[in-house]
Amino acid sequence: MQLAGRAVQNQANQQRSGAGQTYAQNQRQIDTTWGQFKNDYADEDKKLNDWKANEDSAARQASQTTRQNLLTQLAQLRSQKAAAQGANGANAARADLARANALSGEIDSLGRQQNTYTGNKVQYNAKDLDSYKVTGDTSVGVSNPAAPGSDPTLNIYNTRLNQEEERKRQNQYL
């Protein structure tokens, strides 16, 4: 009986050791994947923010350029109207031309787009595999009883064996 107990103990210890190693490897892979996801997400978020800023600048530049063109056309029309009425056309167009020229600096600065963030591929490295291992005593042991009735493992086995025999005796078809 002692030899069988030792064989069961050795088998259980090997299985627990293998399970602990598998757990550690799986947990490390999960941590690595999650860390890499967070790094990639932050990288893509920076790219998106730069793209958005450039698109906003391009839209504002297009809007201000259209506004400048319309102010220039308005100045020409006011100049022509004043000339047709016999007044000085340059004086009539002066205010609109000044507003159109004031937009030139803003349009020029909006045209200088920011450098687009191309990304920074960061590799996440999880902790060493040993840090994931289950600590503490995980070994399975077989007691070496002084008397056969004092071994708890053997008592459980005998109780279950007796229950199974009783069940078979009560049900003759098993």
Specify burial of residue 126 (Cβ count, 10 A radius: 0-12, 13-18, 19+). Answer: middle
pLDDT per position as a tens digit, 112-152 = 766 666 666 666 676 776 666 666 555 555 555 555 566 66
pLDDT at 139: 55
Q: Could you tell me the CA-to-CA distances from 143 to 3, 152, 153 in Å, in that order? A: 12, 8, 8
Q: Of residues 76 and 159, which shows the higher confidence score?
A: 76
Range of the domain at 33: 2-116+148-170
Residues 34-49 pLDDT 10s: 888 988 898 888 888 8
User: Measured on CA atoms in the order 150, 152, 158, 164, is the torsion positive or negative?
Assistant: positive
Is 62 within the bounds of a domain? Answer: yes
> pLDDT, tens digit, for every residue of 77-117?
999 998 899 888 888 888 988 889 888 888 888 877 666 66
In a domain? residue 129: no
Residue 132 falls inside a structural domain: no
Say how many domains are in the chain.
Answer: 1
Does a structural domain hold residue 131? no
Residues 107, 68: Cα–Cα separation, whole Å: 9
Query: Is residue 101 in a domain?
Result: yes
pTM confidence score: 0.49
Does residue 138 form part of some domain? Answer: no
Mean pLDDT of 65-87: 91
pLDDT for residue 73 is more than 90? yes
In a domain, 15, yes or no: yes
Residue 14 located in a structural domain = yes
Q: What pLDDT is stored for residue 76 in this prediction?
A: 92
